[in-house]
Amino acid sequence: MSKTNRGNYFEDFKVGQVIRHATPRTVTSGDQALYTALYGSRFAVQSSDAFARALGYSHAPVDDLLTFHIVFGKTVPDISLNAVANLGYAGGRFLAPVFPGDTISTVSEVIGLKENSNGRTGVVYVRSTGYTQNGTEVLDYVRWVMVNKRIVANAAPEPVIPELPAALDPQSLGMAVPLLDTANWDNDLAGSEYRFADYEIGEKIDHVDGMTVEEAEHQLATRLYQNTAKVHFNHHTEAHNRFGHRLVYGGHVISIARALSFNGLANAFHIAGINAGRHVAPLAAGNTVYAWSEVLDKADIDGRSDVGALRLRLVATKDRPCHDFPGLDHEHNYLPEVLLDFDYWALMPK
């Protein structure tokens, strides 16, 4: 009997199955520094202990997406080692801040299954939850992933497709942020004079800058999250896939786009919720990522006068600047340069 793990295939999953993932991970200041080195994220709350403490944090929390990637990475050996593609996200809530010294582990529940019409693959829906060493929930979210079948002839389960919210209720947001003393929010140090009241629904922002992805960087990033998906690492096998090369981890694209969004949304310091996300197309090393955002909604949060919530659509492209806000064509299909369409709530000081 083999002692190695070749990962689960579509027919190995059952609705209601609960998986405790291996390798809890203690987050260090070195992880945060490496995350900054990879993406250049400049949001002041996550960059400066002094800035964070002045607002009411004990010290600077780690970047929200670093938390997301670590929680996600735990799931890969059990959920998506044999995946064709990670398809999307919904219902993600950041529930508590993560600080250097916290240890994160992840548990997933299978909440849906549907075989594809080709009979060779199926879609697996999972809700994954990240916990600290004290049992505090820091993040939960749903993702769905296309997974190969081990044997095409194996019978498919009855399809179960979970009902997912189109968007999170903004009143459910903000648990990961203490009540802030925004009188101490320094616009100059934060990088922008524009706060919650200065943004309008329907406003679009070209984030201007571009970032070219290097082969070593995207592999280093994926290893940082202990993501073992071979599609990101193994050129020996992936040279024979339909793209002919390794693919960049989709979360790497999210982090690049989020870092680029600083130029125009510097005070949107915290990702509070993920409404939806779609990896529209793959990215390879050598491509340059650009991004733009649209304000979809604004909301006050009951009991909080310090921050408001902006619902933002973040679109990333490859090798195409975003001055004309590329997205869908006249037939409502994504343009070929679009990589990512990511709908999230961010908190911003009033």
Q: Has residue 1 got a pLDDT over 80? A: no
Q: Parallel, antiparallel, or unpaired: how do β-strands 18-20 and 103-115 relate?
A: antiparallel
Nearest-angstrom CA–CA distance, 121 and 37: 37
What b/e string do you get for 78-94 counting C-beta neighbours within 10 Å, with b at 16 or more?
bbbbbbbbbbbbbbbbb
pLDDT digits (tens, 9 = 90+) for 192-210: 999 999 999 999 999 999 9
Amino acid at 16: G
Residue 8: other Cβ atoms inside 10 A: 21
Question: Under a CB-based contact definition with an 8 Å cutoff, are residues 110 and 15 in contact?
Answer: yes
239's CB contacts (< 8 A; 6+ apart) are 245
For residues 78 and 8, the answer to whether their CB atoms sit within 8 Å is yes
Render the burial of 35-62: b for 16+ CB within 10 Å, e for the rest. Answer: bbebbebebbbbbeeebbebbebeebbb
Q: What is the pLDDT of residue 8?
A: 94
pLDDT on residue 214: 94
| Over residues 72-91, mean pLDDT | 92
CA distances from 41 to 109, 210, 316 (A): 32, 13, 16
- Give me the amino acid identity at 330: H
Confidence of residue 170 (pLDDT cuts 50, 70, 90): very high
Check if the beta carbon of residue 127 is closer than 8 Å to that of residue 141: yes
Chain segment 287-328, per-residue pLDDT in tens: 999 999 999 999 999 999 999 999 999 999 999 999 999 999
d(CA 165, CA 89): 11
Q: How, if at all, do strands 204-206 and 121-131 pair?
A: unpaired
Cβ-contact 271, 297 below 8 angstroms: no
Q: How many CB atoms lie within 10 A of CB 240?
A: 9
Residue 323 CA, distance from chain mean position: 24
Amino acid at 165: P
SS3 assignment, position 7: coil
Q: What percent of the chain has pLDDT over 70?
A: 100
Other Cβ atoms within 10 Å of 144 Cβ, number: 21
Q: What type of residue sits at position 49?
A: D
Query: The dihedral of CA 302, 272, 262, 29: what is its sign?
Result: positive
What pLDDT was estimated at residue 254? 97
Burial status of residue 190 (CB atoms within 10 A of its CB: 0-12, 13-18, 19 or more): buried
- Nearest residue to 311 via CA among 261, 272, 350, 282: 272
In this prediction, residue 137 carries a pLDDT of 98
Contact between residue 232 and residue 247 where contact means Cβ atoms under 8 Å apart: yes
Pick from 229, 313, 213, 334: nearest CA to 268: 313
- Name the residue with tokens 């779609």: 278
How many angstroms separate the CA atoms of 337 and 136, rounded? Answer: 40
Q: What is the mean pLDDT of the chain?
A: 95
The C-alpha angle 219, 221, 225, rounded to 5 degrees, equals 115
The token pair at 266 is: 């510097």
What is the CB neighbour count within 10 angstroms for residue 151?
A: 10
Q: What confidence category does residue 13 fall into, taking pLDDT thresholds of 50, 70 and 90?
A: very high
- Give residue 61's pLDDT band: very low, low, confident or very high (50, 70, 90): very high
